[in-house]
Amino acid sequence: MDLKEVEKFAKSFFLDADTSHDWEHVERVLALSLKIADKENADKEVVAISALLHDIARKQQDDSKGKICHAEKGAEIAKQFLDTLNLEKSKKENIVHCIKTHRFRGSNIPETIEAKIIYDADKLDSIGAVGIGRAFLFAGRFNHRLHDKNIDIEKTKEYSKDDTAYREFLVKLSKIKDKLLTRTGKEFAQERHVFMQDFFNRLNKEVDGEL
């Protein structure tokens, strides 16, 4: 089917989006997911539509400071929209499943190969050079500290002033390469992970004036 209708609908949710989860993020996830789909022999139509719609409720989550799960809310919104499209019922159900299960901190598990691809593509965009940039963009939005190399993640919370990019690395980003679900996704993650580790190791040294 023509994806222009899906893209138009999805874009309407990103008019004033946070730059760490803006339309450019969606475009990167789309590109990554299609590359993975090629290698994993997945349904590209399901993957493409899911990628375009996966973050349509992200702003609601951020505005609620995490009280709303954007994956679950996004799946609800997407289901209503998908009912207006001429798609097979099984594809619609798979797309809703892809959206609902793509969140790293969520409790819903990706079951289909397409859902695993969307999960992996979304996570890949949160690590490496792009991932570092996005982590600092998000921290800046909420006026978080630049860095605290001695941060105790057990005594700090997300969306607080101590929720630095480095805390996000310790809590989430450093664990992503071991949480990916497809063979291709795991391959793509290796170099991104090493780059990210090297960056934060250097940052820790620089704040101490070592370099």
pLDDT tens readout for residues 76-101: 999 999 999 999 999 999 999 999 99
pLDDT tens per residue, range 19-58: 888 999 999 999 999 999 999 999 999 999 999 999 999 9
Say if CB 113 and CB 92 are below 8 A apart: no
pLDDT greater than 90 at residue 116: yes
Asked if 46 and 63 touch (Cβ cutoff 8 Å), the reply is no
**Domains with residue ranges and CATH for the chain:** 1-109 (1.10.3210.10), 126-211 (1.20.58.1910)
Single-letter code of the amino acid located at 175:
K
- Cα torsion through 40, 188, 29, 2, rounded to 10: -30
Quote the Cα angle for 199-25-139, to 5°: 50
pLDDT band of residue 106 (cuts 50, 70, 90) is low
Cβ–Cβ under 8 Å, residues 93 and 9: no
Average per-residue pLDDT in the chain? Answer: 93
Give the DSSP letter string of the chain. Answer: --THHHHHHHHTT-TT--GGGSHHHHHHHHHHHHHHHHHHT--HHHHHHHHHHTTTTHHHHHHTTTSS-HHHHHHHHHHHHHTTS---HHHHHHHHHHHHT--TT-SPPP-SHHHHHHHHHHHHTTSHHHHHHHHHHHHHHTT--S--TT--TTS--TTSTT--HHHHHHHTGGGGGGT--SHHHHHHHHHHHHHHHHHHHHHHHHHTT--
Give the separation between CA 119 and CA 179, rounded to whole angstroms.
Answer: 10
Structure tokens at 97: 């499943």
